[in-house]
Amino acid sequence: MRRAFAATSHFKGQIIMAKIFAVTIILIAIGSAIPILRHTWVAPPDISTHGAQIDEQMSETMAEAGISFLAAQIILALFIWRYSSRRKDEKIRTFPGGATGLVAAAVILVGLEVMALGAFGVKAWAKVYFTPPGPNAMPVQAQAGQFAFYFRYPGPDGKFGPIHPDKIDEGTQNFYGLDTSNDPDAKDDVVTAELGVPVNREIHLLMHSKDLGHSFYVRELRVQQDFVPGLDVSLHFTATKTGKYEIVCTQLCGLGHYNMKAYLDVMSQEDFDKWMKEQAANQ
């Protein structure tokens, strides 16, 4: 008799815990969705010509992922709520349609949708990586090193002087290893610590690392690309809004990694010309 009572109260306790569990899952699921729906923490507005497609792809993926997430968590919770209180004499039942139905649902409702999403997303990727820079794109070199970025403009001759790794010397501020006395192309090169660009002008960024792996990440530009030691990598973008934006390193490069940053300064053409003159005077 006492044992039977203990068994029933144990069963009741189990039902209560299952119901609390179900409610908790639903609260966590909804609670997780709130900051997304309210845009509490989001990337800053896009300032590039290609970013709109990425943003659109992001929201479509969020819709798909969000619906899958909420649906799966809520159904899981409902089943825990419903089927933890069934007694021993109740018959085990099978989900209508069985495994076949679920496999079909997984393939059609989730698998194909996600594949289609991916196929559309290739457009955004292609815009960044499969289209070459236009003929009027302005070439700028970006060099990453522990723990700073340096940028180089070719100057009036439009040519970059060759880099001599053995001449790189931070002490004399020869960050690019230029030999201005022997290389005529290097003479008018302008090296800066800030990436100044004119607004609405396509930039062809020629990236190389002088030491280790680094990365170039500007959230507002919707751009992230690793620097690969020993490999020249290039990237092109057009900034459409003037302002200063942080460039940060996203590839672990050593103890100062957290502090490796520079600024992207998007200026009007006149401001840019003025800035370039000042920079050239400082060389």
Name which of residues 47 to 106 contact other proteins (CB under 8 A).
53-54, 57-58, 61-62, 64-66, 68-69, 72-73, 75-76, 79-80, 83-84, 86-88, 90-95, 98-99, 102-103, 105-106
Query: Which of 35-43, 151-159, 188-196, 197-205 is the region at the interface with other proteins (rule: CB under 8 A)?
Result: 35-43
Token reading at 85: 């209180």
- Terminal Cα distance for the chain, rounded: 95
Identity of the residue, 137 or 276, whose beta carbon is nearer to other proteins in the bound complex: 137
Query: Which of 30-38, 154-162, 181-189, 198-206 is the region at the interface with other proteins (rule: CB under 8 A)?
Result: 30-38
- Buried b / exposed e over 251-272, threshold 16 CB at 10 Å, is bebeeebeebebbbbbbeeeeb
Question: Helical H runs in 130-238?
Answer: 184-187
The CA distance from 139 to 232, in Å, is 14
- Least distance from other proteins to the Cβ atom of residue 195, Å: 15
Identity of the residue, 17 or 158, whose beta carbon is nearer to other proteins in the bound complex: 17
What are the φ/ψ torsions at residue 152 (nearest 5 degrees)?
-135, 135
234-273 binders of other proteins (CB under 8 A)? 246, 248, 250-259, 261
Binder among 199, 228, 276, 280 for other proteins (CB under 8 A): 228
**Residue 140: partners with Cβ closer than 8 Å, 6 or more residues away:** 151, 152, 153, 195, 197, 203, 204, 205, 206
1: contact with other proteins by CB under 8 A = no
The CA distance from 32 to 208, in Å, is 40
Identity of the residue, 112 or 158, whose beta carbon is nearer to other proteins in the bound complex: 112
N residues, the chain = 283
Token reading at 184: 């005529």
- Least distance from other proteins to the Cβ atom of residue 204, Å: 16
6-25 binders of other proteins (CB under 8 A)? 14-15, 17-18, 21, 24-25
Binder among 185, 188, 194, 226 for other proteins (CB under 8 A): 226
Residue in this structure with the two tokens 């609405």, named with its chain if needed: 200
The CA distance from 128 to 185, in Å, is 30
Query: Which of 115-123, 133-141, 150-158, 180-188 is the region at the interface with other proteins (rule: CB under 8 A)?
Result: 115-123
162-191 binders of other proteins (CB under 8 A)? 165-166, 168-171, 177
Size of the site for other proteins (CB under 8 A): 106
The CA distance from 283 to 277, in Å, is 10
Burial of residue 234, with CB atoms counted within 10 A of its CB: 0-12 exposed, 13-18 middle, 19 or more buried? middle
3: contact with other proteins by CB under 8 A = no
Query: Which of 1-9, 183-191, 228-236, 273-281 is the region at the interface with other proteins (rule: CB under 8 A)?
Result: 228-236
Identity of the residue, 101 or 158, whose beta carbon is nearer to other proteins in the bound complex: 101
